[in-house]
């Protein structure tokens, strides 16, 4: 997990991807949606909706909770962000536009979230569901623990 790097490249890539995806699909990437996506990509930590509201207020925005939630719903529908259910918060998707199943490694110490994908794990989950006669409509796997860097810091202390 990247702890220190310039997030400007992440933000620029996320916004460019969003513009391209929305143009291709004929959906509107409004200024508010752009601002919220940018705020989410400021770090690799999950961001709560009310934190986004607070940030909007400090930058001259006057969005209300329903407006922010509608923007977040749009960003999720377009595959630009994911909701981390256990934290009730959102992270940017590093693979927007790709239909994929992801797992999330959530560091309980530094709060960094990393999206990973395991074909073997996806196949195992699908097999278990199929064997049970279950149809999966949505899958989110969130793994809480400590990232490599925090583990190293802990050992060094």
Most confident of 20-34, 53-67, 88-102: 20-34
Most distant pair of Cα atoms in the chain: their distance: 53
User: Residue 20: in which H helix or E strand, if any?
Assistant: helix 8-25
Strand 89-92, strand 81-84: pairing: antiparallel
Give the least confident one: 26-30, 74-78, 97-101: 97-101
* Domain definitions of the chain by residue range: 8-156
Select the CATH number that applies to the domain covering 8-156 from these four: 1.10.3720.10, 3.20.20.80, 1.10.10.10, 3.40.228.10.
1.10.10.10
pLDDT confidence tier of residue 4, bands split at 50, 70 and 90: low
Per residue in 79-99, pLDDT (tens digit) is: 999 999 999 999 999 999 777
What is the pTM assigned to this prediction?
0.88
Share of the chain above pLDDT 70, in %: 96
Look at residue 5 in the predicted model and tell me its pLDDT: 64
- Outline where 46-146 has alpha helix (H): 49-58, 65-77, 119-131
The secondary structure of the chain in percent helix, strand, coil, rounded to multiples of 5, reads: 50, 15, 35
Per residue in 99-114, pLDDT (tens digit) is: 788 899 999 999 999 9
Asked if 38 contacts 11 with a C-beta cutoff of 8 angstroms, the reply is: yes
Residue with the larger pLDDT of the pair 122 and 144: 144
Whether the pLDDT of residue 7 is over 90: the answer is: no
Look at residue 32 in the predicted model and tell me its pLDDT: 94
- Rounded distance, CA 97 to CA 114, Å? 18
Look at residue 1 in the predicted model and tell me its pLDDT: 45
Asked if 35 contacts 71 with a C-beta cutoff of 8 angstroms, the reply is: no
Q: What is the DSSP letter of 112?
A: B
What does the pLDDT average to over 57-75?
Answer: 88
- Rounded distance, CA 110 to CA 45, Å? 9
């Amino acid at each position: 997990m990247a702890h220190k790097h310039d997030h400007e490249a992440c933000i620029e890539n996320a916004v460019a991807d969003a513009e391209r995806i929305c143009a291709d699909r004929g959906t509107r990437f409004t200024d508010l949606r752009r601002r919220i996506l940018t705020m989410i990509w400021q770090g690799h930590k999950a961001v709560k909706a009310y934190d986004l509201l607070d940030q909007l207020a400090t930058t001259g925005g006057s969005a209300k909770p329903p407006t922010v939630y509608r923007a977040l719903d749009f960003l999720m529908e377009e595959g630009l962000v994911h909701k981390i259910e256990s934290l009730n918060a959102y992270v940017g998707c590093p693979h927007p536009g790709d239909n994929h199943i992801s797992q999330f490694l959530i560091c309980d110490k530094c709060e960094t979230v990393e999206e990973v994908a395991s074909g073997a794990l996806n196949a195992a989950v699908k097999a278990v569901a199929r064997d049970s006669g279950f149809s999966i409509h949505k899958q989110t796997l969130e793994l809480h623990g400590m990232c490599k860097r925090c583990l190293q810091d802990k050992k060094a202390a």
